[in-house]
A and B are shown apart, each in its own frame.
Chain A
Amino acid sequence: MYASLLSNRYLTSRLIPFIAIAAVALCVALVVTVVSVMSGFLDMLKSSGRLIVGDVIISSGIGGMPYTDEFLVDLKGLKDVQGATPLIDTIGLLRMPYPRGDQKEVSHVQVWAVDPISLATVTDYANDLYWRPPADAAASAAMSDEDPRKHLDIDVLNDGKTLVQSRTGAPGITLGMHVSIGNARQKDGSYLPRYGWFMPGNDVTLTVVPVSGQGKIAEPREQIFPVLNEVQTGIYEVDRNRVYIPLPEGQRLLRLDEAPLYDLNAEPGPDGRYPQIGTTPARVTKILVRAKPDVSANQLRAEVELCYAAFAKRINADNSRVASMPDFVNILTWEQQLADLIAPVEKEREMMRVLFSLIYLVCAGLILSIFWSIVVEKTRDIGILRSVGASRFGVMWIFLRYGLIIGILGSGLGVLLAWLIVRNVNAIHEAIGSDAPPVIWIGAFVLTGICALGMIYAIWRGRLLAILLWLLGTTVLGLIATGLALHHGTLIWDPSVYYFTIVPDQVDWGTARWTFLFGVVFSVIGAAIPASKAADIDPVEALRYG
């Protein structure tokens, strides 16, 4: 009872407990915020990585794999396969429709020649198509009038899903959201056309270079495609570079389509041609495989490897085939495939962990020293309490309770603060990324002026501490105000560095719980160490303090 009374009085009669609460809160908020954003980032990377390339990727050399239609039948027969899709992955040049005039801009792009229907069963392709009319009246009402989606024809979406322009029947192309300069990202994450360039409906020219199995480059080929839609995977690297065309177009452009096979050992005919002895099958360079739910990518990879080996053996033993399966293909899980992307982030996270263990230590030292000074200040009180018969534990309990309350309040506030920051991290980032509104920096200058007046008053009254504090306030606020006035938006989270166009904004509650607990336990220990030291000394010794 006296312990509660005293620890409550110690908490409320001084400024220093509030400083301690603020210190605990800041440390907890710092840790929870950074760990949440970092692990959100990794999660995002991993989940979107999987949605972009499926679970298992089979890739061959540049010469491609034949007979994939048959192989796909085998693959889809595996019990753990949800879907599989063939594609050709190459690089190309894309001549954009802008600017107006003869000189057009040319971008280099990664070309995926795909079967859009099966691609949608393996990746999130169909859902990633950005231009689509609003789903219902409510969604429509929520859109601004300038948003092109508001009155969009459903054909734009459907054409994107099939990669065929339904109006003309011509094969079309879809572009990653950031391939063209025409899409200006808005604060809410939507896009408005920039400089009037709304890409669907414009034509682009794609140039690719066929390469033979021996690595020889053939004549580049080009084709004009109508842009049907644009794709937003959320991974900036992909959205910046990737374009999708129909698989048969890709095969034709890259000379991976079916072709007559001539017997070069025979005598040429009267027309100078060698006799045709068959047809070489069309080829693809990659097959993406999606696992059924709850099947791990590694498990699927093992099954796919066996399946491919069996299939290649069967084909290669069959003398009636004009082409053979490559002996060596790469079969990787998405994690292995995206290792270039994931590994640096994991390294970065490890580095953050190391840095953070230092920050933890600094926080711990800070809290311990605050508690130390609190307890030292109260050593005489401990002597008084002991002299009227309070037990060591009774005295300890005052400070344990004190640390417990500071720990709970501080950690609770810290988690709350972290929650507020993390939930609004994109808005905060956006605000940092744009110029400071004049009200804010003018307001800061006004506060600076008030501090300056306070300082003049303090000088007039001759109060040294007040002069110092007002001077400090004037300087700091003045610097902040000047900084804000001169501030021109800088993007911290540059999507070209961090892959993603938005900052993860989910609190990692596991970390939050542990950090809260850590904050409380540490505050209690931080109070217990000096308190037990104080309770150990004889009352007379303690009474000599102060």
Chain B
Amino acid sequence: MVNHIIATHVPPIIEARGVRKTYDIGSLPVEVLKGADLTVQSGEWVAVLGSSGSGKSTLMHLMGGLDRPDDNGGEIRFDDRPISVTHGKRLDSYRNRDIGFVFQFYHLLQELNVFENAMLPGMVGNWMTGHGSARAVARESARRLLDSFGLSHRLAHKPSQLSGGERQRVAIARALVNSPRVLLADEPTGNLDTSTGAGILDLLAERHAAGLTVIMVTHDAEVAARADRIVKLVNGRVTDQALTW
């Protein structure tokens, strides 16, 4: 209880406030998110559970700064600052170092090998800031992550030569290489068989134990059960915001 009280008085690390998102399907506007709220404290592992098509990916994209809410459609706040109104350099840097994003379909670059893929955000950030030492840090960090994910013998391989589980581990290494404070994972096990998926979840659990904030969406209640807290996305709104303890 004490923990809870302290936690509620610390500002959340990432927060969605009344987020709305409408897509035009044909000429017909469809409101996928109808004022979704989600508050996540630093160090939490939250699972967003929802059926297919409920708008889970949409919510994740908005929180990751990959897409924008509707005009006057609420806001996303990171570290008590709104990110949904930023753009340009600030937004690039938010995507690059504040959060890490893991996609259901891995989204690795086919032309780069495993090591280069994992290092990519390091290279991108380095290109923007121009720190030579930052590059060395990214290199070291990518090597360490891939090593701890059991991929050290795969560094020079192309993504097409890897299994689905291996690809997702490379994608997680890429998401973590710049040591972000929040990991956003969109159905990270959605494309994997149960045992491989379990391996990925173990990996997330390990990172979470080391202090990483994780937000994960899934349609699978069993996968969601690995999280500290489960919220549901129903009818474009988040329900069950209650803490699990």
Q: Which residues of A contact B (CB under 8 A)?
A: 1-3, 5-6, 9-10, 13, 380-381, 383-391, 394, 538-540, 543
Subset of 12 A-B contacts with CB under 8 Å = A1-B123, A6-B112, A9-B112, A10-B111, A381-B109, A385-B109, A386-B66, A387-B107, A388-B121, A389-B128, A390-B92, A390-B127
For residue B126, CB closer than 8 A to chain A, the reply is yes
Closest A residue to B99 using CB positions:
A389
Encode contact with A along B177-215: 1 for CB under 8 Å, 0 otherwise.
000000000000000000000000000000000000000
In the complex, the answer to whether A387 meets B123 with C-beta atoms within 8 Å is no
Q: Closest chain A residue to B64 by CB distance?
A: A387
CB <8 Å contact, B95 and A388: yes
Assembled-state Cα–Cα distance A10/B124 (Å): 17
In angstroms, how far is the closest chain B Cβ from the Cβ of A376? 15
Q: A1-B126, A538-B67, A540-B67 are in contact. Are A389 and B107 (CB under 8 A)?
A: no
Partner of B124, one of A383, A385, A538, A539: A385
Beyond A2-B120, A2-B123, A394-B127, whether A387 also contacts B101 by CB under 8 A is yes
> Does residue B89 face the partner (Cβ distance < 8 Å to A)?
yes
A250 smallest CB distance to B (angstroms): 81
Which B residues form the contact surface with A (CB < 8 A)? Answer: 61, 64, 66-68, 88-89, 92-97, 101, 103, 107-109, 111-112, 116, 120-121, 123-128, 135, 174
Q: Is the CB of A389 within 8 A of B93?
A: yes
- Bound-state CA distance A543–B101 (Å) is 13
Given A5-B123, A391-B128, A539-B66 contact (CB < 8 Å): yes
**Contact indicator B66/A391 (Cβ below 8 Å):** no
Shortest Cβ distance from residue A401 to the other chain B in the assembled complex, whole angstroms: 13
Contacts of A387 in B (CB 8 A): 64, 66, 95, 101, 107
A185 to B123, CA, bound (A): 67
Interface residue from A10, A388, A539 paired with B174 (Cβ < 8 Å)? A388
The reply to whether B95 and A389 form a contact with Cβ atoms under 8 Å apart is: yes
Contacts of A381 in B (CB 8 A): 109, 111
Residue on A nearest B121 in the bound complex, by CB: A388
Question: Closest approach, in angstroms, between the C-beta of A182 and any C-beta of chain B?
Answer: 69
- Decide if B120 touches A539 in the complex (CB within 8 Å): no
Given contacts A1-B135, A381-B109, contact A394 B124 (CB under 8 A): yes
Instruction: Please state if B107 and A3 are interface contacts (CB–CB under 8 Å).
Output: no
How far is A114 from B7 in the complex, measured between Cα atoms in Å? 114
A13 touches B111 (CB 8 A): yes
Residues of B contacting A10 with CB < 8 Å? 111
Q: Point out the residues of chain B lying under 8 angstroms from A9, CB to CB.
A: 111-112
B128 in complex: contacting residue of A6, A394, A543, CB < 8 Å: A394
Contact B126 A384 (CB under 8 A): no
Within the assembled complex, what's the spacing in Å between the Cα atoms of A387 and B103? 10
Give the docked Cα–Cα distance between A387 and B180 (Å). 14
A451 to B148, CA, bound (A): 53
Known: A383-B107, A390-B127. 6 other contacts (CB 8 A): A5-B112, A9-B112, A387-B64, A387-B66, A390-B96, A394-B127
User: Given A2, A3, A384, A389, which contacts B97 in the complex, CB threshold below 8 Å?
Assistant: A389
The residue in chain A whose Cβ has the minimal distance to the Cβ of B117 is: A384
B112–A384 CB distance below 8 A: no
- Tell me whether A389 and B121 are in contact in the complex, defined as CB-CB below 8 angstroms, given that A6-B112, A9-B112, A540-B67 are known contacts: yes
Contact assessment for A6 and B109 in the assembled complex, using a CB-CB cutoff below 8 Å: yes
Min distance, Cβ B209 to any Cβ of chain A, angstroms: 25
Query: Given that A10-B111, A389-B92 are known contacts, is A543 also in contact with B103, CB under 8 Å in the complex?
Result: yes
A540-B61 in contact (CB<8A) = yes
Give 7 nearest A-B pairs by CB, closest first. A389-B96, A9-B111, A2-B123, A389-B95, A388-B121, A540-B67, A539-B66
Residues of B within 8 A of A386 (CB): 66, 95
